[in-house]
Structure 1
Amino acid sequence: MCGLAGLIHLDGRRAADPAVLEAMNATLVHRGPDGEGVLISGPVGLASRRLAIVDLHPRGNQPISNAAGNCHIVANCEIYNYAEHRPALEKDGYRFKSHTDTEVILALYERHGERCVDYLRGMFAFAIWDERESKLFVARDRFGQKPLYYAQHDDTVWFASEIKALLADPALPRDTNPVALHRFLAFGYIPAPDTAFKYIRKLLPAHTLVVEDGRVRIERYWRLDYSITHAPAKLADLEREVLDRLEESVRLRLMGDVPVGTFLSGGVDSNAVTALMCRADPERVNSFSVGFRNMPGDESRMAREAAQYYGTRHHEVMVDPQLCDVLPAIVRQYDEPFGDPSSVPLWHLNREAARHITVSLNGEGADEMFAGYVRHRKHELARYCYALPRPLRRSWAGLLRGLGANRLGRGHLLRRLLVFLELDEPSLERVYGQWAAFHFNDGLAGELCNPAFLACQVAADPWGILEGLFEEAGTDDPINAMLSVDAASFLTHLLVKVDMMSMAHSTEARSPFLDHEFAGFVASLPGKLKLKGATSKWILKRALRGVVAPGVLNRRKMPFTLPVNAWLRGELSDMLRDVLLDERTAQRGYFRLEALKRLIDAHLRNEGDHGYTLWNLLVLELWHREVLDGSVSPAA
């Protein structure tokens, strides 16, 4: 796994500047401490930082060139089927210089051109400069497990694993994108392809970017297909296929020449991965769990018991978050506002894991594949609420408001019920959006925002984004439609977190549930097999009977809730006031300070639950200070 960066001047006449490539590469040291390289080929520059996992020899350093020296690649990848392709490629006459998966991508490109991505099973972001055709070919994996950012300004196109590498070139303007910032306040992250910067964009998952003849072309090469559903006549056969495919995916992700571990909690997903890892290689597995002292919902005891059952070498990380020190470092790492507070424990977990392993496996993607979230179960509840006579709905809604349900936390059941009772109509999009709960609604925006910033809210249109994703789902199955939206939105946000928090500590995260062959099979199953009544992940749980530790499958799902309110009313209270009510914040022109003060005071006096909104506002201002006002150096 690595970090990559590069650029191309579209006019073809100006040579790439080695000093610029070196500066871009220097910002990515944390992604690749084991090697570095820069290649200049006329208008193109490629740069790489290497984290050696497959073929640890220096011959695996990048950029890698073909035997003729006219085709070059930099890649951030783990290709789990690369060894399968080598014999045929060697038979065709390709002469390999290394045993890396990166060089196999280059050979597949020489054989199949842009369709080389169809042959790759794994996670990747890579760039190939083909001197023969004067073509730059850039690609990102199907789910976006590996990041790829790009920018175009004047006659130059830049690309890199992280935004900080792009900003290392002073020729790229740092203008911000206020519409994207509004979307951050709504979602807690900035939906792709936008970023916080006007000229910088995310290359979407399963897309390629080609620069040829001075033009940029972006195309989609793969789509998770929910439209074709099937189920064998015998449920037992289906359960066996789910387990066999998942077991194969886990086994493939044990590939590498470095120590491997797993992040283990009390939940089904991480237990499934850990159990199957131990089946495949029982002597090799380190497991890691994280918890906060005196935190509600802490699963460290359950993880400890599961580790004992599987026989892993278990490491328990009980952390004091030290938020005032850690939060600015996390904000710097992301390069753009990112409001997920679970970044804090994940930061600590990866820091501890890096002392023992280089590669970790996780359960990411299972909720999005098998309907594991609460919102997947609430569509029917909304329909029942809507079926009630309107006067009764209004009466009940008034009663809930009188009880203060509108002031409860965004995840509280009574507040959700109030939202459903007040829905105009229970469309799938509205129910999904209400349960996903935008952090920054119209009323709050009108109260807090200055007029110029408020004017950007209409263009931000978070509801329109969700509605567009539902239109693209391509299925009438309501469960699968929601899962399609999950994969295209919330999952991409989670994968940014997984990548950034692992690579900040020079470790690699692998997600067996996101193997595209496994995910494609699961997507083809009817939603009723994923969510049956109130039981989420129904077919997965049946497949895992006798595989995971006793009690795991019957355990009530415990969302990983963080004490954000306690943090903001405790350790972070001074920072919250000092940062958000500071003159520097006022000079940004986004918010009315008096309105901010009222919101903060209400939260600190426990007169309302504004924890996640205030967290996002704090992250937004810290981002301005750490990234825009400060340097673009990687987080320490």
Structure 2
Amino acid sequence: MCGLAAALLMQPTAVPQAELHRRGIAMANVLRHRGPDGEGVWTDHGVVLAHRRLAIIDTSAAADQPMHDESGTVHVIFNGAIYNFRELRGELVAAGHRFRSTGDTEVIVNGYRAWGTGLFSRLVGMFAIIIWDSHAGRLVAARDRFGEKPLHYLERADGILFGSEIKVILTWPGVPRRPNLSALHDFLSFSYIIGTETAFAGIKRLPPAHLMICDRGRPPLLQRYWQLPAVGENPVTGSDADLKRELIDRIRNAVTLCRVADVPLGAFLSGGVDSSAVVAMMAPTHQGPIETFSSGFGFGDYDETRYATLVAERYRTNHHVFTYDKKIVGSLAKLAWHYDEPFADSSALVTYALARETRQIVTVALTGDGADETLLGYARYFRYGAQLSRNGGGRQLPELYAPNGLDGHRRAAGDAYGYLMETFRERQKLAGYDLTMLPYLDRCTYDGLAEWVVDGLTPEEQAGRIDLETYLPCDLLTKVDVAAMAHGLETRAPFLNHELVEWVSRIPGNRKVWGNEGKALLKSALEPFVPRECMYRPKVGFRVPIAKMMRENLRSATEAILLSERFADRRLVRREFVQQMLAEHNTQRQEHGTRLWALVMLEMWFRTWIDKDSNQPMSDDDNPFAEIAPLEPMPRFGEAESHAAERA
């Protein structure tokens, strides 16, 4: 996993070569945290390829990037991991291609020479790839199927810019920092931004499972290179025992593929179904004890570490547990800088902290991400299905989505997408929006979701399918990638092996879930491997008690930022509305924790990226949360040692 940046200028001689190289170095420097092991910048006739390397597969200089083919016409920068690179390498060697390294990047170089853009559908893994084909005068960019690896771009009259992070694009001279208010409207709805838009006007995300072809003098061409099988296509059959056996085999194979690395590798272990499954599949063939990592807050429903300990004890892992308190917010200014956009999933705080500790021991960590969306694990999917049955007589989403005037449209859309976790609902936006945001009230937030509606799915499957296109890439995977790469830690998600996801998608919905038991097929299949008490319990998720903290320890800092003149002057949300929310929240008349946190993160973003022309985190003077002591995790001493003693 690494960081990459690129530029293609429409006029090859518009910028002198020396200046072009200087800009490439500036772009790479901003990504230093993503790739602490090396830097490479290559320029040629209006093209810049810049790269920061995190060395994981073939750590020698032979695998440095940018990487070039023997003819000097194919030039590649790449972020991610290709799990089937050895298989593809064998095909390419048999076809006469030669290799100088033992890593996965050179498979992309020679694979493009052999198969052109057909390469991407052959890759098993996570990736953001940029290829400059100097023979064709063409730049090709591609992103993995589910959006594990980020890739942003900006089209300009004089060229197109790319970066693993938005801050890379902002280093280019003349790039404006203007807020995209339409995207902020979406952010206030969901606490993250859905789709290809970003918080910066003009800067976009390359969608997952897409490639972009850029030729000078022509508009970029966006193409989808992969999609899930059509509903009803080649459905999976067999007995329940057959399905469970094959599911375990496929998960085990996906985990095995994700373990390819020449550096220390471990796993996040929350004690939930998915991460426990990953550890269980790793254990039989792992050399030595697995390094596993958990975090919690040490009180109430916010601490699942005892379940993680059960799994760790069963598989005799070298388990590391970290607990946190309000000091975790001491990293808030850094988070606002690393995420580049307003991002209000408060679990990013603990993910960031856990990644920092994990990186002290391993370079790669496997995660359980992706299982809930594909194997239908969220309770809200089932509440939504029951709601549709009550309100719509079991009608499918397209029927519920028929507009009937704006108010009718909002009500219908609210029914159709009622499973989504909203931050500010439509009525709250109507009451709270100030002058800057008022023009966006006419746009229903749900409108952009209709493109992912598919006929023939159960309500639960449809909810999972839309989450796979929205919540997964735009929240969960973004959260983990940014938090982990802030510390140079690579994360991998075996449940997002596309062959596994394709197979699961062909299982009829009524065989994946039984009644209201989420991930029922998966849980049943895992009973021989994971303690029952870890599986058959209410799903908690990776949570932070942010509402409680904002009402207590963080109250003064929250009020300082949300009642400030700077925030009020932006005219995003009416001051009276904010005051009312704070009063209701602080007196516990109504819970507004997620809404207040979203506004805090929005203002932190403005102060970090819009108010100043700098690529540095905000100063303490701008950050009311600077009064919180720096982040200091408190390890629970003794647990890792006790498990090691058991092994002895």
What's 2:434 paired with? 450
Contact kept in structure 1, 2:2 and 2:80, CA below 8 Å: yes
Instruction: Quote the offset at 1:213 in angstroms.
Output: 3.5
Aligned counterpart for 1:477 among listed residues 447, 458, 476? 458
Contact kept in structure 1, 2:251 and 2:494, CA below 8 Å: yes
Does the residue aligned with 1:93 lie in a helix, a strand or coil?
coil
Stretch deviating more after TM superposition (346-355 or 93-102): 93-102
In the alignment, residue 306 of structure 2 is paired with which amino acid?
A: R
**Distance in 2 (alpha carbons) for counterparts of 1:477 and 1:385:** 15
Decide whether aligned partners of structure 1 residues 424 and 45 sit closer, same or farther in structure 2, where only a CA change above 3 A counts.
closer
What's 1:2 paired with? 2
Contact kept in structure 2, 1:30 and 1:505, CA below 8 Å: yes
**Distance in 2 (alpha carbons) for counterparts of 1:172 and 1:61:** 29
Q: Does 1:609 align with 2:591?
A: yes
What's 1:398 paired with? none
Contact kept in structure 2, 1:75 and 1:125, CA below 8 Å: yes
In the alignment, residue 4 of structure 1 is paired with which amino acid?
A: L
Instruction: Quote the offset at 1:284 in angstroms.
Output: 4.6
Contact kept in structure 2, 1:290 and 1:345, CA below 8 Å: yes
**Distance in 2 (alpha carbons) for counterparts of 1:37 and 1:141:** 23
**Distance in 1 (alpha carbons) for counterparts of 2:60 and 2:481:** 24
1:52-67 equivalence runs, <5 A? 52-67=55-70
What's 1:527 paired with? 509
**Distance in 1 (alpha carbons) for counterparts of 2:536 and 2:328:** 35
What's 2:637 paired with? none
In the alignment, residue 486 of structure 1 is paired with which amino acid?
A: D
Q: Does 1:263 align with 2:247?
A: no
Instruction: Quote the offset at 1:118 in angstroms.
Output: 1.3
Instruction: Quote the offset at 1:321 in angstroms.
Output: 4.1
Stretch deviating more after TM superposition (429-438 or 140-149): 429-438
**Normalized against structure 2, the TM-score is what?**
0.89
Instruction: Quote the offset at 1:219 in angstroms.
Output: 0.8
What's 1:242 paired with? 247
Does the residue aligned with 1:25 lie in a helix, a strand or coil?
helix
Does the residue aligned with 1:451 lie in a helix, a strand or coil?
coil
Aligned counterpart for 1:200 among listed residues 199, 203, 210? 203
Q: Does 1:553 align with 2:535?
A: yes
Q: Does 1:582 align with 2:564?
A: yes
Stretch deviating more after TM superposition (212-221 or 373-382): 373-382
In the alignment, residue 303 of structure 1 is paired with which amino acid?
A: A
Q: Does 1:139 align with 2:155?
A: no
1:396-435 equivalence runs, <5 A? 430-431=414-415, 433-435=417-419
Instruction: Quote the offset at 1:89 in angstroms.
Output: 1.5
Instruction: Quote the offset at 1:483 in angstroms.
Output: 1.7
Decide whether aligned partners of structure 1 residues 627 and 554 sit closer, same or farther in structure 2, where only a CA change above 3 A counts.
same
Instruction: Quote the offset at 1:386 in angstroms.
Output: 3.5
Contact kept in structure 2, 1:247 and 1:276, CA below 8 Å: yes
Q: Which runs of 5+ in 1 are unaligned?
A: 389-422
**Distance in 2 (alpha carbons) for counterparts of 1:432 and 1:293:** 38
Contact kept in structure 1, 2:4 and 2:52, CA below 8 Å: yes
Instruction: Quote the offset at 1:73 in angstroms.
Output: 0.4
Does the residue aligned with 2:211 lie in a helix, a strand or coil?
strand
What's 2:486 paired with? 504
What's 2:401 paired with? none
Q: Please give the root-mean-square deviation of Cα atoms over the aligned residues, in Å.
A: 2.1
Identity of aligned residues (%): 37
Decide whether aligned partners of structure 1 residues 284 and 334 sit closer, same or farther in structure 2, where only a CA change above 3 A counts.
same
Contact kept in structure 2, 1:34 and 1:51, CA below 8 Å: yes
Aligned counterpart for 1:332 among listed residues 334, 337, 343? 337
What's 2:628 paired with? none
In the alignment, residue 479 of structure 1 is paired with which amino acid?
A: E
In the alignment, residue 491 of structure 1 is paired with which amino acid?
A: L
Contact kept in structure 2, 1:478 and 1:527, CA below 8 Å: no
Question: Per-residue displacement from partner, 1:512-568 (whole Å, max 9, x unpaired)?
Answer: 000000011001111111221011111111221212234333333334443121111
Does the residue aligned with 1:452 lie in a helix, a strand or coil?
coil
**Distance in 1 (alpha carbons) for counterparts of 2:329 and 2:91:** 55
What's 2:526 paired with? 544
Q: Does 1:185 align with 2:188?
A: yes
Contact kept in structure 2, 1:365 and 1:514, CA below 8 Å: yes
Q: Does 1:632 align with 2:636?
A: no
Q: Does 1:345 align with 2:350?
A: yes
Aligned residue pair count: 599
Decide whether aligned partners of structure 1 residues 567 and 523 sit closer, same or farther in structure 2, where only a CA change above 3 A counts.
same
Instruction: Quote the offset at 1:22 in angstroms.
Output: 1.0
Contact kept in structure 2, 1:251 and 1:280, CA below 8 Å: no
1:33-432 equivalence runs, <5 A? 33-215=36-218, 216-225=220-229, 227-228=231-232, 230-281=235-286, 283-383=288-388, 385-386=390-391, 430-431=414-415
**Normalized against structure 1, the TM-score is what?**
0.90
**Distance in 1 (alpha carbons) for counterparts of 2:441 and 2:410:** 24
Instruction: Quote the offset at 1:60 in angstroms.
Output: 1.1
In the alignment, residue 227 of structure 2 is paired with which amino acid?
A: R
**Distance in 2 (alpha carbons) for counterparts of 1:533 and 1:619:** 38
In the alignment, residue 232 of structure 1 is paired with which amino acid?
A: T
Q: Does 1:25 align with 2:28?
A: yes
Contact kept in structure 2, 1:72 and 1:130, CA below 8 Å: yes
What's 2:477 paired with? 495
Does the residue aligned with 2:270 lie in a helix, a strand or coil?
coil
Question: Per-residue displacement from partner, 1:27-67 (whole Å, max 9, x unpaired)?
Answer: 10010000000000111100000000000111211100111
Decide whether aligned partners of structure 1 residues 40 and 533 sit closer, same or farther in structure 2, where only a CA change above 3 A counts.
same
In the alignment, residue 467 of structure 1 is paired with which amino acid?
A: A
**Distance in 2 (alpha carbons) for counterparts of 1:162 and 1:475:** 37
Contact kept in structure 2, 1:378 and 1:431, CA below 8 Å: no
Q: Does 1:596 align with 2:600?
A: no
Does the residue aligned with 2:41 lie in a helix, a strand or coil?
strand
